[in-house]
Amino acid sequence: MTANLSETLTLLLIEDDDGDAFLVEELLKEAVAPPRIFRARSLSEARRKLTPEIQCVLVDLSLPDASRLEALEEVIALAPYTAVLVLTGLRDVHVGVTAVQAGAQDYLVKGDVEARLLARSIRYAMERKRADVAQLKLVQAELTAKENARLESALLPDPLLRTQEIEHVTRYLPGSGGTLAGDFFDTVQTPDGSVHLVIGDVCGHGPDEAALGVALRIAWRTLVLAGQTGDTLLRTLDALLRAERQAPEIFTTLCTATISPDLRHATMRVVGHPPPVLVRGGTVEVVDGTPSGPPLGIFPDAAWSVIDVPLGDDWSMMLYTDGLIEAAVHEPGRLLGVDGLVELVRAHGVIDLDGLIRHVGTLSDDLAVVMLRRRRM
């Protein structure tokens, strides 16, 4: 009777008994498309032959160098995405149940196997494995999404602003890979009326970088609320970065701004970060004198110069991470850049974050933007 294997598969048969191996090979020859069969007579031999091209493993539970479920457990560990079918001469249903509980997709007793049953069992085992892997990936994706949501909430907090004279707008978009990176920002108004702002970018992508961004943002807010600003704040963040980072090459760029209580003047430190964009009295420009110094985490004795920025009565300020200026625009390979960003703002006449984001194309990196605008009261 013809077995129901309609495409050529590649199988690994782990069986030390030549007679049993011959029987399995003969039964599978009756398939519509007989599979390619590699054979291993021991677990140690199977380790060498268990390559990525193997689509299903048929494993005996009695091998010379493995007992009972030992062989099954190692095969599953070596090939976690490959279907495994247990073949044994043990007429014990408990062994079969235990094998399935240990991760096998099916269980067959050698003496009860015929061609159609064997072919069908292999096909079903592969389909079950595909379903198991798809379910695992779905669960992992859901867990990643939940973790990203928690990290995003910590990276992108609500501002602590009391004044009604400042409009505060933020945007955050993940890069094309959907992986959360270490972009972060925060805004805090201290009791004297000063408004403090930070935006930063931990190099790299992934949960470690995102968690480091969370730590730096919370540390920044804590230091500002404690009255620490300027170089003292930056050196403390630098020490924290060095203590918490996973590798010595991890660095962080950031930009800090402190707006005076009368909202007419700002002091900035641009720490290896893209320059802020200002609109003052209808004129669009980038902040002069940038950068103030190198990123955090590179030079232990770094210093950062202060940039004084007169604001006046009518102004808007935009701080952003490099995901914005490194976004592709128009034709592939052309990036927005700082000059392109300034031209876009000029074309709009105001800093319109949604308009800017609609203009850019594929994001290669996370994009974070903070805009402050003085309201005319």
- Kindly state the average pLDDT of the residues 273-279: 94
Region(s) of the chain under CATH 3.40.50.2300: 10-136
Burial class (CB in 10 A: 0-12, 13-18, 19+), 63: buried
271 has pLDDT over 90: yes
* pLDDT value for 153: 64
- The residue written with tokens 């007989």 in the block is 34
Q: Is the pLDDT of residue 263 over 90?
A: yes
User: In the prediction, which pLDDT does 257 show?
Assistant: 96
What pLDDT sits at residue 57?
93
- Give the per-residue pLDDT at 1: 35
Query: 367-374 and 166-173: which strand pairing?
Result: antiparallel
What's the rounded Cα separation, in Å, for the pair 28 and 281? 82
| 249 compared with 140, residue with greater pLDDT | 249
335 vs 46: which has the higher pLDDT: 46
**Biggest alpha carbon–alpha carbon distance for the chain:** 93
H or E segment to which residue 117 belongs: helix 115-155
pLDDT for residue 4: 47
Contact of 107 with 134, CB cutoff 8 Å: no
Which pLDDT tens digit goes with each residue over 183-239?
A: 999 999 999 999 999 999 999 877 788 889 989 999 999 999 999 988 999 999 999
Residue 3 pLDDT > 50, yes or no? no
| Amino acid at site 177 | G
- The predicted pLDDT at position 87 comes to 83
Q: Over pLDDT 90: what percentage of the chain?
A: 41
CATH class for the domain made up of 156-374: alpha beta
For 327, phi then psi, to 5°, come to -75, 145
**What pLDDT score was predicted for residue 206?**
78
Structural contact between residues 6 and 123, judged by C-beta atoms closer than 8 angstroms: no
Poorest-pLDDT segment among 50-59, 109-118, 267-276, 290-299: 109-118
Does domain 10-136 match CATH 3.40.50.300?
A: no
Helix (H) or strand (E) holding 24: helix 18-28
CA dihedral of 215, 258, 171, 252, whole degrees rounded to 10: -40
What is the predicted pLDDT for the residue at 150? 64
What is the predicted pLDDT for the residue at 332?
A: 63
Question: Residue 285 pLDDT > 50, yes or no?
Answer: yes
Start and end residues for every CATH 3.60.40.10 domain found in the chain: 156-374
CB 148, CB 139: distance < 8 Å: no
Residue-averaged pLDDT of the chain:
86
**Residues 360, 366, 372: CA angle, nearest 5 degrees:** 75
**Cα-based distances in Å from 248 to 100, 190, 244, 299:** 45, 34, 10, 11
Tokens 């859901």 — which residue? 142
pLDDT tens digits, one per residue of 133-154? 888 887 777 776 666 666 666 6
pLDDT at 288: 81
pLDDT, one tens digit per residue, over 290-338 is 789 999 999 988 999 999 999 999 999 999 998 888 876 766 667 888 9
Give rounded-to-5 percent helix, strand, coil for the chain: 35, 30, 35
Range picked from 66-75, 170-179, 361-370 for highest mean pLDDT: 66-75
What pLDDT is stored for residue 95 in this prediction? 76
Tally of helices (H runs) and strands (E runs) in the chain: 10, 17
Whether 372 shows a pLDDT value over 80: the answer reads yes
CA distances (Å), 279 to each of 3, 260, 288, 348, in order?
A: 75, 17, 13, 11
